[in-house]
Amino acid sequence: MLTAITRDVNENMGNCELTYLPRVKINAGLALQQHQQYQSALSSLGCEIVTVPTKSGLADSVFIEDTAMVLDEVAVMCLPGAESRRAEVAGVGDVLQQYRTLASIQPPGTLDGGDLLRVGKVIYAGLSTRSNRSGIEQLRCIVADYGVSVETVETSKCLHLKSAVSAVAPNTLLINPNWINKSAFANYELIDVDEEEPHAANALRVGRSVIYPSSFPRTIENLAQRGINVTPVDLSELQKAEGAVTCCSLVFKT
């Protein structure tokens, strides 16, 4: 059984952190509708939805992925690189402790879940503006006890590692080669995003399908031609806040 932990769109989402995108007005009502459709997509793929209550002022809290990484044996509570986001972690931990033993990243380490791509027994950790070497090294020490290794990948042109690369099928990754060095993933089959859709590398694999933004039709066609089952969702308002499909849930086996 799969559980998907989500958090509702916050009323202050318009004040979200932004790094690479200009600030534009976000329609909070439409963002809420799109998020509900996203949750429905998760349900359609066999996930039980568990919603963490949101709190006033936590503008980015819908992007719950950045607060934790859930393995079979442990949940690692992150320490987001943006100070304004650190208050998001406690509420998520309160829910995750019902499912997993918790471990935590401590200062001076910082770590965003969006920088963590797990493929089998390897976690690729993005060294980014949000995740530093101390945070990655702490993660390495935590997961080593469970036979999981950590490989550091430097990022420079995108917010998180998973902005540039994500898993779409067994041993298969979707990648923007202009944002990340392909050599780090030489052992996998790589599918390039369409050149006209640079933000299209983020996909959420759930079972044998991927939840994927409907705003990237060229890459959707490419994935379909590879035999990958795509469940499209419209997240246009959340994308204005530098969000994507992996950002909005923590999916794990229960």
Rg (CA), the chain: 17
**Is 160 an active-site residue?**
yes
| DSSP code, position 91 | H
3-state secondary structure of 108: coil
From 16, 78, 158, 247, active-site residue: 247
| Cα 186 from Cα 189, distance rounded (Å) | 8
Alpha-carbon torsion angle 61, 64, 67, 73, nearest 10: 150
| Cα 152 from Cα 221, distance rounded (Å) | 31
Q: In the chain, which ranges are continuous DSSP H helix?
A: 28-44, 88-96, 133-144, 217-225, 236-239
From 158, 160, 199, 248, active-site residue: 160
Alpha-carbon torsion angle 233, 238, 239, 243, nearest 10: -100
User: Which residues are part of the catalytic machinery?
Assistant: 160, 247
